[in-house]
Structures are given as C-alpha cells and as structure tokens.
C-alpha cells in the first residue's frame, strides 16, 4: 500500500495525523482557558463530556491517531538512519539551514509522549476512567467531573508544574517544526507559501502552548495565595 510502502506515503500519514492532533490541541487549549474564566463553566464541559459515548468514541479515535503518528515517526526515523548508514557519522558540523527542532524531533517527540502519559495519569485516569470502570466509590465519582479540583490538585504541586512546563516547551518545538513540515509534505512547498506556513505555525504554536502554560502558572500562583 502506498501509504506504508513509500517514504512519501509515510510522510503523508505523519502529516495528516499530526494536523488532526493539532486540531485536538486547539480544542483542549480552548477548553482549558474556560477554566480561567469560569470554573463552573469548565466543570460543566467536563460533565458534558464525561464517559458519554461520543466522548469515548473521540478518545478512541484520538488514541488511534496518536499511536499511528507515533509508529510512523519511529518508522521514518529508522528508515532515514538506515538509508544514511555509516555516512551519518561522517558529518561533524550540521548544516546551518537545518533547524534544531528538525534535528531533534525524535527526542522532542519522546518528551511529548512522556508528558502525555503524565497528563493521562493526572486527569484522564481520575476523570473518565473511573466512570468507564463503573466504580462504586462515591468520592471518586463526585470528583470525576470536577475538573477544577484536579487542576488545582495537579498544579498546586511545584514538581508537576516544572514537569508540565518542560513538556510544553518540547511541545512548542515539536509543533513549530511539525506544522510547516506537514504543509510542505501535503503540497504547500513553494518558497512563498512555505515561509507563510512557517510564520503561521510559529504564531499558532506559541498561542496554543502559551495558553496551556498560562493555566499551569495561574493555578500554581493561586495555590500560593
């Protein structure tokens, strides 16, 4: 199959899944900003989502996209290293035209993955999962839709705050490179539009990551007051 047998096909899969994940991040970012404006509104969103069929279906689809993106990322990296063979050791000075993020996408991706695992532990495992498991613990169930409670508990801990900010920093580098790279793969590769997509990607990634970071910092500062 073309999408798996050719390097171009694999890059297309990476691009499409990456764009889909970026759209989810945009939704998640918007949802998090609601927590700063209206805690009750945020909890209403959490209750509306909960373990309803559409939220579960979206979660499964998101997990599928993420796993596919992850597998293809490692696949492409392995293929590139295999193609270069021993020649990759012959270059002692990296070209100035190659971005730092481009050179370290795999490492950045691993940090992003670890951050996602941490995020799932702090939120999904304490919100949607208990409902799916059908727990009888009333305290756990009452907190399952209380997103503000979990945000306060997580970002009241300075260790989690530092880990999340490191994660968001890696996510910013990953997004800024991945955004324009995806557009290039999908055909927007002429000089004019490529530079435009670089600019749009940098601005968009900065806004999204800044919004996530703002939630972390504001709730941490509030926990100190």
Summarised one tens digit per residue, pLDDT across range 155-172 is 999 999 999 999 999 999
Domain count, the chain: 1
Within-domain flag for 95: no
d(CA 217, CA 225): 13
H or E element, residue 3: helix 2-5
50-81 pLDDT, tens per residue?
Answer: 888 899 999 999 999 999 988 888 887 777 76
Helix residue ranges, H only, 85-146: 100-103, 105-122, 128-133, 138-144
What's the CATH code of the domain at 125? Answer: 1.20.1300
Task: Check pLDDT > 90 for residue 205.
Answer: yes
Within-domain flag for 32: yes
pTM value is: 0.85
Within-domain flag for 92: no
Domain enclosing residue 124, as ranges: 2-87+103-224
């Amino acid at each position: 199959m073309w999408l798996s047998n050719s390097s171009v096909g694999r890059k297309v899969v990476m691009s499409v899944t990456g764009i889909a994940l970026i759209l989810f991040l945009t939704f998640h970012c918007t949802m998090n900003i609601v927590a700063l404006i209206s805690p009750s509104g945020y909890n209403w969103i959490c209750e509306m989502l909960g373990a309803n069929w559409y939220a579960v279906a979206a979660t499964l689809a998101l997990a599928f996209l993420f796993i596919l993106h992850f597998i293809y990322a490692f696949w492409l990296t392995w293929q590139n290293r295999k193609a270069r063979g021993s020649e990759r050791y012959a270059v002692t000075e990296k070209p100035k035209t190659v971005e730092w993020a481009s050179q370290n996408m795999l490492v950045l991706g691993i940090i992003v993955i670890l951050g996602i695992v941490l995020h799932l532990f702090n939120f999904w495992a304490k919100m949607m999962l208990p409902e799916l498991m059908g727990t009888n613990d009333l305290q756990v169930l009452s907190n399952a839709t209380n997103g503000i409670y979990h945000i306060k508990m997580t970002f009241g801990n300075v260790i989690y705050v530092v880990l999340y900010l490191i994660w968001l920093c890696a996510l910013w580098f990953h997004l800024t490179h991945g955004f324009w790279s995806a557009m290039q793969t999908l055909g927007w590769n002429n000089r004019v539009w490529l530079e435009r997509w670089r600019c749009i990607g940098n601005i968009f990634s900065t806004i999204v990551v800044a919004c996530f970071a703002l939630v972390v910092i504001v709730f941490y500062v509030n926990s100190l007051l």
